[in-house]
A and B are shown apart, each in its own frame.
Chain A
């Protein structure tokens, strides 16, 4: 039991922030993760061992988030400007400014992505899940995950601000 507790304790920050990115609301994310963790505890006998454990956890978290999204349609009107204003200060002021601007661009572009593309992007590029684990988390085939990620990247690349960022990266 202590092992499960410590695992949940370790997993909470990343799970919470993933939920924040999906839901774009810290309060809803907190509730969703709490609900997800309670489910994990309730069905602790079903937790797979090994590498599958993390994917399974994210599956529960994503489902809790999607349940909230579908029950609360006006989520699209939300803004995470307040989150961007609370970005942690870094030692390099220029880097801080760049990161803040990049985060604002990606945040805006991410908000425009539909849910079925946004969730894989968050899981892949924030949570760091491989495609096979994302497939488990969203209960789709790995091929579907791959195509959704490609579609998401294509749409993000069409965003003018992000395209500019992409050009800068290439120039560097």
Chain B
């Protein structure tokens, strides 16, 4: 077996046989020095990069990332409880405005998607909201139903209201609504009544735009308002466009008419007449659209759905004892607690997944950097 000494001697001979280039290390150092000379002042030297970071730095970074990720996860996934009440108030814009009000939840009845019940809302809230709604929709004794606009502005107003009236007063309420609409210069566009044990009705009223707020106020006085949803749409641009196109077609028609007076042959007359007919058809179509738009901007539409109160459920609740209420409340809170926990699991799992991904990336990056260093 070859000895270590022999190998050291032989390799030493070979290795030492290589002449070390005298300029090589100087060249290397010359390349390194300019980088050092760039920084003239120690105060300007940035803090040296310590890589790899210390264990403490890793821990702090991981903890900070964890906190941020969890916060982001909760923000994305939502951390609200099951009882969180949403109240969507008024949203208004130049083109479209929507007003929603809270309402009591009628048993077995679908709620308006824009009106969300808040169980914790005070009983007076609907009335207060109705007041604000009146102001928002321009109702009341002093305000106009149409937002203050210039004379050219064309607004289409529509509204829907759910009313709950006392037992046996559905028909009377329909009649009062009809009187209110006609009294304000409007009319009943549609009316539908369903009889039986639980009678209900639906009435569509058309009234002048300016009286829309007054009609809303009067309707509120006829029963308990469960929801109100009003919308306004600004159709001024559409209106002006129709008018301009009508004006242009009118000019075209006039031109053809003047040409028609100079037509000498039957063929020319028929040809021009055909053009005039085409233009007239377009004028009629546009005029029809303009009439509809004018009607919609002149008259607001309010649809009122009426049903009568039912107190069966209330009676059942009324007979619950204190212990029964407490048990019921306890079960309800337990269910809500479980819902909240399940709701929080999603963001936490997301945060853990992101953390795992970040850890993997950091590990790979660390290995790559270490490999580049050497």
Contacts and interface: CB of A to CB of B under 8 A. Distances in A.
Contact of A126 (B2, B11, B373): B11
B25 interface: yes
B368 to A, nearest CB: 13
Nearest to B31: A38
A1 to B, nearest CB: 6
B6 A103 contact: no
Contacts, number: 128
A87 B11 contact: no
Contact of A34 (B9, B16, B24): B24
Interface stretch (B44-52, B192-200, B321-329, B336-344): B44-52
A83 B374 contact: no
B15 A30 contact: no
A21 B16 CA distance: 10
Given A29-B18, A43-B373, A157-B1, A103 B13 contact: yes
Contacts of A106: 7, 10-11, 13-14
Contacts of A12: 20, 24-25, 28
Nearest to A170: B3
Interface in A74-96: 80, 83-84, 86-88
Contacts of A122: 11
Decide if the interface of chain A is mainly helix, strand, loop or mixed.
helix
B13 A30 contact: no
Contact of A26 (B13, B14, B18): B18
A46 interface: yes
A17 B15 CA distance: 5
Nearest to A41: B32
B17 interface: yes
Contacts of B10: 99, 102-103, 105-107
A126 B12 contact: yes
A43 to B, nearest CB: 4
A41 B25 CA distance: 13
A171 B18 CA distance: 31
A118 B21 CA distance: 24
A87 B52 CA distance: 44
Contact of A169 (B3, B21, B24): B3
B2 A157 contact: yes
Contact of B374 (A8, A33, A39, A121): A39
A137 to B, nearest CB: 9
Contacts of A102: 6, 9-10, 13
A56 B7 CA distance: 24
A39 B371 CA distance: 11
Contacts of A83: 14, 17-18
B43 interface: no
Interface in B45-67: 48-52
Interface string B64-85: 0000000000000000000000
12 contacts: A8-B25, A12-B24, A16-B18, A16-B20, A41-B32, A45-B48, A99-B10, A105-B10, A106-B14, A121-B11, A156-B7, A169-B6
Interface of A: 1, 5, 8-9, 12-13, 16-18, 20-21, 26, 29-30, 33-34, 37-39, 41, 43, 45-46, 56, 59-60, 63, 80, 83-84, 86-88, 99-100, 102-103, 105-107, 110, 121-122, 125-126, 153-154, 156-157, 162-163, 165-166, 169
Nearest first, the 10 A-B pairs at minimum CB distance are A106-B10, A103-B13, A17-B15, A126-B11, A125-B7, A43-B373, A20-B18, A12-B25, A87-B17, A13-B20
Given A46-B51, A162-B2, 17 more contacts: A16-B21, A20-B18, A21-B11, A46-B373, A83-B18, A87-B13, A102-B6, A103-B13, A110-B11, A121-B7, A125-B7, A125-B11, A126-B8, A153-B1, A153-B2, A157-B1, A166-B1
